[in-house]
Amino acid sequence: MSKKVLELINIWKIYGKKPNQVTVLKNINLTVERGEIVAIMGPSGSGKTTLLSIAGTLEKPSSGRVIIGGLDVTKLSEEELTKIRCKNIGFVFQTYNLVKNFTALENVIFPMLISGQYAFDEAVERGKELLKMVKLQDHINKYPSQLSGGQQQRVAIARALANDPDIILMDEPTGNLDLKSSANVMSLVKWLNEAYEQTFLIVTHDFEVASLATRIVYIRDGRLYEKPPEGIFAKHFKEEVEDKEFLEKLLKIEIKLLSLKARNLERRIETGKVDLEDLAKETAFLKHKVEFLEKIRRG
């Protein structure tokens, strides 16, 4: 599998026309590799949310190229981009963006059903495992209004994981949360990265959140800078991140999820509902995940 999950090449974003045009992004170049947590930091108005929107194909750049999983998506149609977003990208927003009339479980299984890859019973079984992964197994039938902000954000993370995305994009994921809830959410992100090799691109203004990233980049006045300032350390998340007992439970859940995915793939092969390209990709995904889990097990 390719190590490059996301590539932004010479990205410019310009709104309006001369003489009133506004240049928001200026020749941005960014590569995110599999297994990274990349944090983008910058003040309000620096262009970080626009950059995330372009990375997630929600906006098109004025010029430059966006490559996701080795595929250049820059000039794809909206219909094609919708499929890419469904299968390859997970989104977690500051305001959660859960469907209010759906339960936690329904919110999580919805992307799986939209993708067409999962039968209803398969999506439900997988959704329950994902909610167990985010410690919400006792809340699967609750509606968003019955959950705390931190719990809603964890539902959003489970939903983002639904279709095994190449990358999860997070826009100020702790912006509406208190310190404890922020610690819970970000410790989950760290677990998913370390034990599941999930890749994240996170926009944040919070140095504590950014300190958990494997790499920090900075954006100011539409330009990207790689070199971070010194002296940034996590202070409030250590106890949460070092919960080894839950990490062991998480590994067991991941093994169950891989088993469910293998069964789903077998069913689709038997019914002829998978093309050769998807078959090759998903087989490679399963092989890579098994090898990664074996590596984790060996320590």
Q: What is the CATH number of the domain that holds 88?
A: 3.40.50.300
The residue-averaged pLDDT of 271-281 equals: 84
pLDDT in the model for residue 211 = 87
* 282-292 per-residue burial string, b: 16 or more CB within 10 A, e: under 16: beebbeebeeb
Count of domains for the chain: 1
Distance (Å, whole) CA 165 – CA 12: 26
Token pair listed for 117: 């890859």
Distance (Å, whole) CA 209 – CA 1: 29
Which residues constitute the domain of residue 131?
A: 4-298
Distance (Å, whole) CA 119 – CA 264: 8
The residue-averaged pLDDT of 261-280 equals: 87
Per-residue pLDDT reduced to its tens digit, 111-129: 999 999 999 999 999 999 9
Residue 224 has pLDDT above 70, yes or no: yes
pTM of the predicted protein model: 0.83
pLDDT in the model for residue 154 = 94
pLDDT in the model for residue 7 = 97
pLDDT in the model for residue 2 = 65
How distant is the alpha carbon of residue 55 from its chain centre?
12
Which position has the higher pLDDT, 99 or 271?
A: 99
Residue 280 has pLDDT above 80, yes or no: yes
**Residues facing 202 on adjacent strands:** 39, 170
Where residue 242 falls among pLDDT bands split at 50, 70, 90?
low
Query: Read out DSSP for the chain?
Result: --SEEEEEEEEEEEES-TTS-EEEEEEEEEEEETT-EEEEE--TTSSHHHHHHHHTTSS--SEEEEEETTEE-TT--HHHHHHHHHHHEEEEETT----TTS-HHHHHHHHHHHHTSS-HHHHHHHHHHHHHHTT-TT-TT--GGGS-HHHHHHHHHHHHTTT--SEEEEESTTTTS-HHHHHHHHHHHHHHHHHH---EEEEES-HHHHTTSSEEEEEETTEEE-PPPS-----SSHHHHT-HHHHHHHHHHHHHHHHHHHHHHHHHHHTT-S-HHHHHHHHHHHHHHHHHHHHHHH-
